[in-house]
Structure formats: structure tokens, C-alpha cells
Amino acid sequence: MPRIGVFVCHCGSNIAATVDCAGVAEATRGFPGVVHAADFKYLCAETGQNLIRDAIAEHRLNRVVVASCSPRMHEPTFRKAVAQAGLNPYLMEMANIREHCSWVHADRQVATAKATEIIRMVVAKVARNEPLTAKQVGLTKRLLVIGGGIAGIQAALDVANAGYQVTLVERTPTIGGKMAMLDKTFPTLDCSACILTPRMVELSQHPNIELRTYAEVLSVKGFVGNFEVEILQKARKVNHLTCTGCGTCWQKCPEKNVPSEFDVGMGRRTASYIPFPQAVPNKPVSDTANCRSVRHLAAKERGEKLMECRVCEKLCPTKSIDWEQKDEIIVDRFGAIIVANGYDTFDHSVYGEYGYGKYPDVITGLQLERLMNASGPTKGEVVRPSDGKHPHSVVFLACVGSRDDKVGRPYCSKICCMYTAKHALMLKEHDPNIQTYVFYLDIRAAGRGYEEFVRRVQEEYGSTYIRGRVSWIYPQDGKLIIKGEDTLLGRPVEVEADLVVLATGITAASGAVDLMQTIGISYDTYGFINEMHPKLRPVETNTDGVYLAGCASGPKDIPDSVSQASAAAVKVCGLFSQDYLTTDPMTSVVDQMKCVGCFLCEEVCPFRAVERETLRGGKVVARINESVCKGCGLCVAACRGEALNLKGFTDQQLLAQVTALLRA
Amino acid sequence: MSVLKFASTDQPGRNGLLALVKAKTGQDVLACYQCGKCSAGCPLSSAMDLAPHQVLRAVQLGQRDLVFQSSAIWLCVTCQTCYTRCPQEVDLPKVMDALRSQAIQEKIRPAERTVKVFHDVFLGLVERFGRLYEVGLIGGYNLLARQPLASADLGLPMLTRGKLELIPRRVKDREQIRAIFKRAAELELEEITGQSVAAAPPASVPS
Ligand SMILES: Cc1cc2nc3c(=O)[nH]c(=O)nc-3n(C[C@H](O)[C@H](O)[C@H](O)COP(=O)(O)OP(=O)(O)OC[C@H]3O[C@@H](n4cnc5c(N)ncnc54)[C@H](O)[C@@H]3O)c2cc1C
Ligand code: SF4
Ligand code: SF4
Ligand code: SF4
Ligand code: SF4
């Protein structure tokens, strides 16, 4: 027999002002099963909780209804309170008479009557509540980091230093990401490689970190604490266990004309290559699309003839070249995932007015970084790609592929104002005779020392900033004519330039959407990851156990990317500090006798909680993985055979609620 | 509207106009970040062809014609409102003054000719009487601007109401005023020739 206690809260005057709380308590005394009712000013206060605990003991209550605010506020508080009095916490229900009643009504009489009815329904429900027990599952204390840019590197190091095992998966042959491509970094102008490469080396030598470059994540199954991940290790055609990174193969490779991804097409590389001298790992991969030997093998299979090469194989002192090496799939288990797949820069070839990406002397900011870099394709000499001459007049265009609805990028890329100012300053350092122009819309330089930096570039370095978007660039007599408007003066401007640099904006990394779908996390229209909460949970995704860091969730500079990485690492460490995870028991359950195996539930479940089970008779039915189920109830609504029920919200409970209201 | 053109060898960031203003006033016009606060508060800006901040913008871009032919530099009354309020502490009135003196030196007249006429008549009267003589200003300006009867409808009622005096008033010590003008002319000459013109200033006149 249920012995129900009803507790009506005044919430100061939040409820009491419009609801006669004592009257409501009095009215509930006549409801079926209610043996005790009381009202109190603040039930959530320690004294209020004591009142409930004492009443449970005194009146031998086995069900409790707290009529107060939304369960979103205090459900954990009152569950804990009744548990302390020895009651199963799921035998407590809350009746929301604040948000659903006192706050939205003015008439005291009506509000009092409505509050009474709300409680009547909840009393009918709680009488049918069953004790539920939260389950505990173990967890694998190993982290998977996807993406080896500065964000991924920082997160991996932080978690590894806390003593946990980390696997970092990077799809290119080296870690470092975009930061490795940069020359100097704003606003302090420290050399990018000098501050990055020590971290890369530390990572590669860390006993707790397994590094998998030239690899990608194929599939993710499971749930927080217990992810099962398939990783594709692409064939390098080089055995990294025996290779010493001596450099013979990439020095001797005759295929020297492959555009270098690392130099963003400004330089060339060989087919067997390391992307840059400090690459980690410092061992080559043979790019199968361009390697002459691999192409020879493929041609042979097709019955065609092609010259064999095998130079590297013949010259490698450790016999590490392995033509038979195949792509490999590795299956591993992880407790948490940090997604740090970074960004790409906007492809400016959509702009016909800027030459469709076809004018050789119109380059991007990232390409300029490579030209300015001492280990870049020109050894740090800034020259025009068309004729190798030194430029006198260099024009920068800000906001290319940013703040432009027409190309589907209404957002500001946040870092291009700063990197453009950096470029203007550094060009002047390279050659004091260079005149730079920056066409901009607004200057966005929010950050410590950032605004001061941009002022310095204009005042000390004499960069001419012109407010206005460039409308047209066209070649004339070996130079480029840039047409724009100085909106400050209200006059058209025409600049004759030797070199034009486009500050192309930040877009989601290529393949980002596929990756998000593989992992099962939500992303926005641009392919950036959505945070669990943009302010209060900025490094969590909407899937438990999956975190984010860096430009994967939108434009960020290095300090922001690193801060996020460390924040995500703390979240992971917090998770790994537990020995088991408690799961919410309010999940759905299958009545396998009723299940007809249509698997509509499987289709609708957004969390992939529905599994298939074959019964002894051969019948295939649904089973809910309680660790994954979030209790959203979609499957219950979808199930045609009423085989599914949601614990804590069973059909019987809900029906009792409705009946109580209708019968009253 | 004339196009501002920059050849690939130009150096607007180091242009001659910037250097000139710097030499004459010590002001770094590149410090101006074009917020427009000066123009917003300037009592004359509505009458100017270039607002005060645009004068600076033209200096930043080395646009000599735009600057020297503007009426703005002549309309500025050196009230200091802009300078008092400028967040970047650009001494705009000082810059305006330097631009005026340069225009005189180079004999460049503003596109709006009468603006300079007013300036000349005004200063001429101050030099003679030590203060403003309104009737002289109206007469002289109208004559030189070749518009003898302009604003006559305003002049008569002002006369009858005693707002204008026909006889000029003079300040007591006109010697001092002359000395100021003399010294200013000397300083100007010094600037042009680069040699100091030795003239011990009268004790009470700031040098
Ligand atoms: C021209 C330019 C100049 C800049 N200058 C500065 C500066 O001076 N100062 C500053 O603070 N910031 C600067 N930035 C910004 C800086 O580059 C970024 O803040 C920083 O690189 C972000 O790091 P990240 O790790 O988030 O992304 P990334 O550096 O993009 O790293 C992401 C990594 O993930 C890998 N990856 C992507 N997808 C997958 C996948 N599916 N599987 C596995 N791996 C994957 C990528 O290969 C890459 O290695 C500049 C940016 C540009 C474009
Ligand atoms: S940071 Fe600056 S250049 Fe980049 S999109 Fe924003 S306003 Fe434009
Ligand atoms: S209740 Fe929701 S999360 Fe749970 S199995 Fe059903 S659909 Fe999936
Ligand atoms: S107030 Fe100062 S900074 Fe602003 S526009 Fe005028 S001179 Fe420039
Ligand atoms: S000093 Fe000149 S520019 Fe400045 S507010 Fe006064 S009149 Fe205008």
C-alpha cells in the first residue's frame, strides 16, 4: 500500500503569492494514498529537507511528492533528501506548481485550484512508481585524440602527463597542423616552429602516448567510458619500425615535382617525403599517387607498361621500403574522445572578381607564411610567384570568404585581421622599401596586446589601411590593379600592386561533417562542432565522453585553441578519475515477448542504444543498451506493438495521471 | 569624384605630407584612427567640404590637392574642441594651422576662393586694430569676394539695433599686436629659409 507524503513549498513568495499553499496541502490530504501533507516556506533549504526526512520516519512514508519548482532545478536535491531517509530516490516525484502555475497565473483562486490538480496527478503517478537502481559500468581509461594540430597536441600531452594512456590519430604524415606552417605568431612574433616543435618532440617521446599519423578514424561505436573505434592506418610503403629517417630515399627520389601540401603549392616535394624538416615522426611516407614504383605496380596489374623506379628500395640502407605494405584497420577501445580536427582556409577561387584563383601573384595568407619562412620554398625570400621578383607594393584583402553571405560565410573568421597585420609588419621587416596596403571592413583585434599591435603596424610601420572591400583585381603590364573605395574619404582608390595577399577565412576542415557523423556528434551548417552549451560547457559535445578543442568548433587563434585543449583535458581527467560510471536508470526496456522485431526503434533512436538480440527460438528482438539510452522516449512512441516502455514514465503511470485529472 | 591612385613605387605610409606636418607640428597624423569624434564636435564641420577627420585622412594618404584646396583648413577657428576630445591626442588645430601656413607659402588657394579671402581680411583687421572691426570685415570681404551687396538685408537691421559700430575700436597697446604679427612673420620666414631671424621679442610677447 502506498503511503504518500505531500510537501507544498512556498518558494518564498514565488508560489505563495498566487497559491494558497496551506489550502493546497489541506486539499491533498483527501487524495488516494496520501497519509501526510504539509507546507513550508523553503523546502530546498536544509530545514525543509529535514522536515521531509522527519516526516518519512514519523509517518512511515514510502512515496513522496514535492510540489515546488521545476525538477530541472531541485530534483537531485530532493532525491538525495529522501534517499538519506532510507527511501529509494526514484520514489520521489516533483509537482511543478511554480513555472507551470504560480508564475503564469494572476488569479489566486484559479491558481490554487490548478496547483491542487497538478498535485492530484502526480500523486496518482507516484503511487505507481517502482524503485529504480542506477547501474554502474566500468570504463576504459584511455583517450583518443583526433587531429594533431596544436590543439590535439596540447590535449594529448595534458592527459598523458596526468598518467593516462593516449592515442593520437592524425591523417597527414606529420603532426603540427597549421601552426607548423606559420612563420611568426602574433602579437608577440615568436617563431612558430620554435615554440611548437618542442611539443611535437615531447609528444612523440611520451611513454603514455601512441602516435598514429597517416591514419583516420573509420567508425565509433559504444558510449562514454567504452568506445570501440576502428582506425585506418594508411599504407606508407615504408616500415617505420626499421626506418631510421636517414633521408636517403627522399633525397634520391627522382619524382621531384609534386606540389607540396605543406608549402600550400608554393614549393615542390618528392614522392617519398617528409612534409618539412622537423616533421614528427621524422620518417617518410611514399605518396602512392605519385610514386613511380607504385604506379608501375598498378599499371602492371592493368596490363599496361610503365617504367619501374625502385630507387629508394635500392638505396635504403635499412631495407625499409615495403611495396607490399597494405592499409590496415586497427580496432581499439577508449573511454573518451577529443575531437581536434582543426580547420581549412576558404577556397577563394569562387571570386571571379579576384581572378578565380588563377592570377599567380594573388596568393593567400597561408602561402605568404610559407614564402616568409626561412625553411620555406624560397628560403624566406618574399618573391612574386610569377617572375621571382621582389615586390614593392603589396596589397592585402581582409575578410575574403568571411562576412560574406553571398559565398555562404556570414561569420567573422576572427584571426585574419591579426594575421594580416602581422604580415604587413613582417614584410616591412623583410624589406623596408615595401609599401603595404590593407583593405578592411573593420579591424577586429580583441585580445591582450592585439589592438596595440595593429596600431603599431599603421603608425610605426606605415602600412596604409583603407576601409572598404576591393571590388576588382585585374592584371596590367605585369602588375595587378586593385580597385576599391576609401569609405572614410568617400573616394575611389586604385592601387598598382606587385603582389596581392588574400586573408582567406576559416572554414571547417575537409571531411569534418563525415567525421562528426562517424562519431555521432552535432555540428552546425558550416561543419563546426556544436558545443553542449556555448557558454557553460564549451568543450563538451552533445555526446557524453566526446570533447572538442581548437578550430574544430569555429575560428580561434593559438592561445584560444590551447586553452580549450587544456580545458578538454581536464574534463577527460575528471572522467578518468572515476572507477565506474553511474548511469541514469530511467531508460527504456523491451518486453521481448511483445517485440515483433520491426526495429523501428533502432531507426528512431538518436543515440544508437537499440541492439539486436537473437532469442533461442531464432526470433530477433530489440534490446536496449541501458548505458547508452538517454531515456528520450522516441522508441516508445515509435513502437507499434507496445513492446517498449520507459522506466519512470511507464504507460501505466502516465495513464494514471491523466485518469486522475479526468475523474476529479 | 577623382580617383586616389597609388603606383607600385609610391609610399603613402611615408608620404611627404605626413613628414611636413610632423616637421611643422610634431604631430603624427598616422595616430588618427578615423573615429570621427573630432568632426562630430566641430562647430564648423557642417560648413566644411572635408570634415576635420577627412583632412587627416587625406594627409594620411598624401593627397596634397585634396588637403590644400579644401575650405576646411581655412574654416577651422582653432577652437580646440576636437583636440580636447581626441582619444588619440592628435592636435588637429595645430595641424590645420600648419596646413594653412603651408598653403600660403606655396600660394595655393582653396577651391572655394572666398574662404581664403575672409581669412585674409579678418587677420588684416586684427593686425590694424588689435581686434575685430565688423563693418570693415563685411565691407572688405564683400569687396574682395566681388559680391558688394551680399547680406545687405542683414546689415541694416543690425546697424539700427546697435549691433554694428561704424567707427572701429582699437586695443590700447597696438605696439604689442604689431610685435606679435612681426614675430609670426619672422618665424614663418625662418621656417622657409631655415635660418633664424634675430629679433629679440618684446618682453611680454611669447616667442
Ligand atoms: C595565415 C594564417 C596565419 C595565422 N597566424 C596566427 C598567429 O600568428 N597567431 C595565432 O595565434 N594564430 C594564428 N593562426 C591561427 C592558427 O593557425 C590556429 O589557431 C591553430 O592552428 C588552430 O589549431 P588546431 O589544432 O585547432 O587546428 P589545425 O592546426 O588545423 O590542426 C588540425 C589537425 O587535424 C588534422 N585533421 C583534420 N581532420 C582530420 C581527421 N578527420 N582525422 C585526423 N586528423 C585530422 C589536420 O591534418 C591537422 O593536423 C593563423 C592562421 C592562418 C590561416
Ligand atoms: S577577423 Fe578581420 S579580416 Fe577576418 S573576417 Fe573578421 S573582420 Fe574580416
Ligand atoms: S529512449 Fe531514446 S535513447 Fe533510449 S533507446 Fe529509446 S530512442 Fe534510444
Ligand atoms: S578624434 Fe582624433 S582619432 Fe578621432 S578622427 Fe579625430 S583626430 Fe582622428
Ligand atoms: S579646432 Fe578647428 S577642426 Fe577642431 S573643432 Fe575647432 S574648428 Fe573644428
Task: Indicate if B76 and B119 belong to the same structural domain.
Answer: no
For residue A521, pLDDT over 80 is answered with yes
User: Which of A378, A358, A364 shows the shortest CA–CA distance to A267?
Assistant: A378
Q: Which of B65, B86, B105 is the last residue of a domain?
A: B105
The length of chain A is 664
Which CATH number characterizes residue B73's domain? 1.10.1060.10
Q: Contact, A5 vs A58, CB < 8 A?
A: no
Over residues A588-593, mean pLDDT: 94
Closest ligand by atom to B82 CA? 5
Task: Give the chain A residue whose CA is nearest to the CA of B34.
Answer: A488
Cα A86 to Cα A630: distance, rounded to the nearest angstrom = 27
Q: Which of B48, B83, B105 is the last residue of a domain?
A: B105
Q: Contact, A617 vs A569, CB < 8 A?
A: no
Cβ of A556 closer than 6 Å to ligand 1, yes or no, is: yes
What is the topology classification, in CATH, of domain A343-507?
FAD/NAD(P)-binding domain (3.50.50)
Q: How many CB pairs under 8 A join A and B?
A: 76
pLDDT score of B201 = 52
Task: Indicate if B49 and B72 belong to the same structural domain.
Answer: yes
Who contacts A207 (Cβ-Cβ below 8 Å, separation ≥6)? none
Residue B132 in domain: yes
For residue A334, pLDDT over 80 is answered with yes
Q: Which residues of A38-76 are buried (b: 16+ CB within 10 A; e: fewer)?
A: bbbeebbeeebbebbbebbeeeebbbbbbbbbebebbbe
> Measured in angstroms, how far is the CA atom of residue A619 from the centroid of ligand 3?
22
| Residue for grid cell 607659402 | B105
For residue A125, pLDDT over 90 is answered with yes
Residues of chain A with CATH 3.30.70.3270: 587-646
Tell me: the pLDDT tens digits for A260-297? 999 999 999 999 999 999 999 999 999 999 999 988 98
Task: Indicate if B17 and B62 belong to the same structural domain.
Answer: yes
Q: Which helix (H) or strand (E) holds A192?
A: helix A192-205
pLDDT score of A361 = 97
Who contacts A522 (Cβ-Cβ below 8 Å, separation ≥6)? A516, A529, A530, A541, A542
Percent of chain B whose pLDDT exceeds 90: 54
Q: Supply the DSSP symbol for A547.
A: E
Percent of chain B whose pLDDT exceeds 70: 94
User: What is the least distance, in Å, from the CA of A438 to any CA of chain B?
Assistant: 11
Across chain B, what does the average pLDDT equal? 89
Task: Indicate if B22 and B98 belong to the same structural domain.
Answer: yes
- Chosen for mutation from B14, B18, B28, B30 (greatest number of chain A CBs closer than 10 Å) is B30
Q: Contact, A265 vs A357, CB < 8 A?
A: no
Residue B84 in domain: yes
> Measured in angstroms, how far is the CA atom of residue A531 from the centroid of ligand 3?
22
Residue B164 in domain: yes
Residues of B in contact with A492 (CB under 8 A): 1, 3-4
Tell me: the pLDDT tens digits for B131-190? 889 888 988 888 888 888 887 788 888 888 888 888 888 888 888 898 999 998 888 888
Task: Indicate if B92 and B118 belong to the same structural domain.
Answer: no
> Measured in angstroms, how far is the CA atom of residue A607 from the centroid of ligand 3?
7
| Test site for ligand 2: of A366, A396, A407, A417, most ligand atoms within 8 A of the Cβ | A417
Residue B126 in domain: yes
pLDDT score of B197 = 66
Q: Are B12 and A435 a contacting pair at CB < 8 A?
A: yes
Over residues A465-487, mean pLDDT: 97
Burial class (CB in 10 A: 0-12, 13-18, 19+), B75: buried
How many of the other CB atoms lie within 10 Å of CB of A302?
8
User: What is the least distance, in Å, from the CA of B81 to any CA of chain A?
Assistant: 21
**One-letter amino acid identity for A266?**
M
Residue B3 in domain: no
Tally of helices (H runs) and strands (E runs) in chain B: 11, 1
Please report which confidence band the pLDDT of residue A329 belongs to, taking 50, 70 and 90 as the band edges.
very high
pLDDT score of B1 = 64
Q: Contact, A274 vs A174, CB < 8 A?
A: yes
Over residues B38-60, mean pLDDT: 97
Task: Using CB atoms, pick whichever of A435, A491, A492 lies closest to residue B10.
Answer: A435
Over residues B91-111, mean pLDDT: 94
**Is B137 in a helix, a strand, or coil?**
helix
Tell me: the pLDDT tens digits for A248-257? 999 999 999 9
Over residues A5-22, mean pLDDT: 97
Task: Using CB atoms, pick whichever of A437, A463, A496 lies closest to residue B7.
Answer: A496
DSSP-assigned beta bridge partners for residue A285: A273
How many of the other CB atoms lie within 10 Å of CB of A354?
23
Residue B201 in domain: no
For residue B202, pLDDT over 80 is answered with no
For residue A664, pLDDT over 80 is answered with no
pLDDT score of A475 = 97
- Chosen for mutation from A425, A458, A460, A464 (greatest number of chain B CBs closer than 10 Å) is A464
Across chain A, what does the average pLDDT equal? 96
Please report which confidence band the pLDDT of residue A592 belongs to, taking 50, 70 and 90 as the band edges.
very high
Cβ of B86 closer than 6 Å to ligand 4, yes or no, is: yes
Q: Is the N-terminal amide bond of A281 cis, ω within 30° of 0?
A: yes
Q: Contact, A498 vs A395, CB < 8 A?
A: no
**Cα-based torsion angle of the residue sequence B185, B186, B190, B193 in order, rounded to the nearest 10 degrees:** 70
Cα A80 to Cα A86: distance, rounded to the nearest angstrom = 10
Instruction: Region of B62 please: left (phi>0), alpha (psi -120 to 50) or beta.
Output: left
Task: Using CB atoms, pick whichever of A461, A488, A498 lies closest to residue B54.
Answer: A488
Q: Is the N-terminal amide bond of A187 cis, ω within 30° of 0?
A: yes
> Measured in angstroms, how far is the CA atom of residue B30 from the centroid of ligand 4?
10
Task: Indicate if B35 and B84 belong to the same structural domain.
Answer: yes
- Write out the three cell numbers for A87: 527511501
Task: Indicate if B73 and B149 belong to the same structural domain.
Answer: no
DSSP states along B151-190:
THHHHHHHHHTT-S-SSPP--S-HHHHHHHHHHHHHHHHH
Residue B188 in domain: yes
Q: Which of B76, B105, B134 is the last residue of a domain?
A: B105
- Write out the three cell numbers for B186: 619672422
Tally of helices (H runs) and strands (E runs) in chain A: 17, 34
Which architecture characterizes domain A4-126 according to CATH?
A: 3-Layer(aba) Sandwich (3.40)
Please report which confidence band the pLDDT of residue A378 belongs to, taking 50, 70 and 90 as the band edges.
very high
- Write out the three cell numbers for A322: 615495403
Residues of A in contact with B34 (CB under 8 A): 467, 488
User: Which of A551, A607, A540 shows the shortest CA–CA distance to A574?
Assistant: A540
Task: Indicate if B65 and B117 belong to the same structural domain.
Answer: no
Cα A228 to Cα A209: distance, rounded to the nearest angstrom = 18
Spacing of C-alpha A76 from chain mean position: 29
Structural domain tally of chain B?
Answer: 2
pLDDT score of A468 = 97
pLDDT score of B204 = 54
Q: Contact, A357 vs A274, CB < 8 A?
A: no
Residues of chain A with CATH 3.50.50.60: 343-507
Please report which confidence band the pLDDT of residue B205 belongs to, taking 50, 70 and 90 as the band edges.
very low
Tell me: the pLDDT tens digits for A409-424? 999 999 999 999 999 9
DSSP states along B1-55:
---EEE-TT--GGG-HHHHHHHHHH---GGG-----HHHHH-TTGGG-SS-HHHH
CA distances, A421 to each of A454, A458, A469, A501 (Å): 6, 9, 16, 12
For residue A385, pLDDT over 60 is answered with yes
Cα B198 to Cα B182: distance, rounded to the nearest angstrom = 12
pLDDT score of B200 = 53
Residues of chain A with CATH 3.40.50: 4-126
CA distances, A94 to each of A69, A123, A387, B92 (Å): 8, 10, 76, 69
Closest ligand by atom to A627 CA? 3
Percent of chain A whose pLDDT exceeds 90: 92
What is the topology classification, in CATH, of domain A587-646?
Alpha-Beta Plaits (3.30.70)
Task: Indicate if B73 and B154 belong to the same structural domain.
Answer: no
Task: Indicate if B125 and B180 belong to the same structural domain.
Answer: yes
pLDDT score of B146 = 85
Please report which confidence band the pLDDT of residue A580 belongs to, taking 50, 70 and 90 as the band edges.
very high
- Write out the three cell numbers for A447: 585580445
Residue B1 in domain: no
Cα B101 to Cα B21: distance, rounded to the nearest angstrom = 11
**Is A504 in a helix, a strand, or coil?**
strand
User: What is the least distance, in Å, from the CA of B87 to any CA of chain A?
Assistant: 13
Q: What is the ipTM of this complex?
A: 0.82
Range of the domain at B55: 13-105
Q: Are A488 and B30 a contacting pair at CB < 8 A?
A: no
- Write out the three cell numbers for A395: 596589397
For residue B117, pLDDT over 50 is answered with yes
Residues of A in contact with B61 (CB under 8 A): 464, 486, 489
